[in-house]
Amino acid sequence: MALHPTHITLDGKHIEVETLLRKTSGSYDWEKSWLDFLAEWYNVQDFIEVQTSGSTGAPKTIRLNKTFVAASARRTIRFFNLKENDRVLHCLPSNYIAGKLMIVRALIGKLDLHVVDPSTDFSFLTQESFKFAAMVPNQVGKLLEFVRQPADWNPDFAGTPFGRLEFLLLGGSAIPQNLVKKLQAISTACYSSYAMTETATHIALRKLNGPGASEFYHCLDDIEVELSKAGCLRIKVPGLEKPLQTNDLAELQDKKTFQVLGRADNVIISGGIKFSPEQLEKKLEPYIKQPFMISWLPHEMLGQQLILLVEGNQSAETNQQLQHIFQQQLDKFERPRKIRFISKLPRTLNGKIDRKSVNPS
């Protein structure tokens, strides 16, 4: 698999990369974005510059060696058994690492790349088939809503609500439990990614539906994990000078298989008991429709007391409903002591709730 092939296949057409590099810009921002990255991939530098998501601190620009990036692309190609001319859908912003990798996979795997606006309504999926696509949860939710419209449906695609899409990779943010539940009814094989910019996107995948569905991630080729003394995941990836230490609390089955429990820097200690807000939120997600998060306030006796922050307007009825959910879904000591309503929860650039910017007081 060549790092810089002379041609790329777009929408079934074999096109010289040099022709695309001569284009000054696309008609839309999303077109310009992927063409800009193509130019960066083919420039004389041996690295690309990418920006971290900002989910664990201020976003920063880092450099990734192109050979390292290509190795990540090849792992994905092997895992999903992608072959030359397989149709793959690129519907992610190309200014982030996940979108960039879709382009690299198409180049070095000689795949048939179909680039669309990330804000598309996915109506074309009622008529077209793809071997592989990567999406964020919000896009998948939009797609699920669209395919409920039978008038737009092609009967040849019966039984496959995502069209003839064989593999779907979800990433970018935590996947809501109600979305995972909906995915159980479709035939497309759906996977969640454990990924970060520093590793040139995902290093491990877990099956979300069908045979093999699991809460545990399994590392891709040549990648292993271990735990630090604090119980946080440490990743060993060929091409990195040293293991990459994360703040993700994890449970290991073996050096290739792990489950993420939450972030160490998010842990709340209340009454001497450690709570992972991510684990509590996972229990509540199927029952609370509004965006929400578990946070804490100082408490004289407990040290930190659990609270629930909910996006929206306060009402006695909503308070009562939430208290009922606490009673049904959480153990006694897991239940938030207070409920606070907030007009808008702060978010990072890629849409994740920004815990560090929340002021619950």
What was the pLDDT predicted at 121?
A: 80
- Give residue 244's pLDDT band: very low, low, confident or very high (50, 70, 90): very high
pLDDT mean over 189-206: 95
Q: Is the pLDDT of residue 183 over 60?
A: yes
pLDDT mean over 20-25: 79
What was the pLDDT predicted at 164?
A: 75
Taking the C-alpha atoms of residue 347 and residue 361, their distance in angstroms, rounded to an integer, is 18
- Give residue 320's pLDDT band: very low, low, confident or very high (50, 70, 90): very high
- Give residue 157's pLDDT band: very low, low, confident or very high (50, 70, 90): very low
Q: Is the pLDDT of residue 202 over 70?
A: yes
pLDDT mean over 189-196: 95
What was the pLDDT predicted at 341?
A: 92
- Give residue 154's pLDDT band: very low, low, confident or very high (50, 70, 90): very low
pLDDT mean over 265-270: 89
What was the pLDDT predicted at 155?
A: 43
What was the pLDDT predicted at 195?
A: 94
Pairing of strands 129-135, 87-90: parallel
What was the pLDDT predicted at 256?
A: 98
pLDDT mean over 27-47: 91
Q: Is the pLDDT of residue 350 over 80?
A: no
What was the pLDDT predicted at 182?
A: 87
Residue 99, C-beta contacts closer than 8 angstroms, at least 6 positions apart: 33, 34, 37, 90, 92, 93, 118
Average pLDDT, rounded, for the chain:
88
What was the pLDDT predicted at 147?
A: 57
**The total number of residues written for the chain in this structure:** 361
On whether the CB atoms of residues 152 and 124 are closer than 8 A, the answer is: no
pLDDT mean over 91-107: 95
What was the pLDDT predicted at 152?
A: 45
What was the pLDDT predicted at 159?
A: 44
CA 260 from chain centre, in angstroms, equals: 14
Nearest CA to 113 among 206, 227, 35? 35
What was the pLDDT predicted at 146?
A: 62
pLDDT mean over 14-41: 87
Cα torsion 56, 62, 67, 73: sign: positive
What was the pLDDT predicted at 240?
A: 93
- Give residue 150's pLDDT band: very low, low, confident or very high (50, 70, 90): very low
Nearest CA to 29 among 145, 117, 121? 117
What was the pLDDT predicted at 347?
A: 83
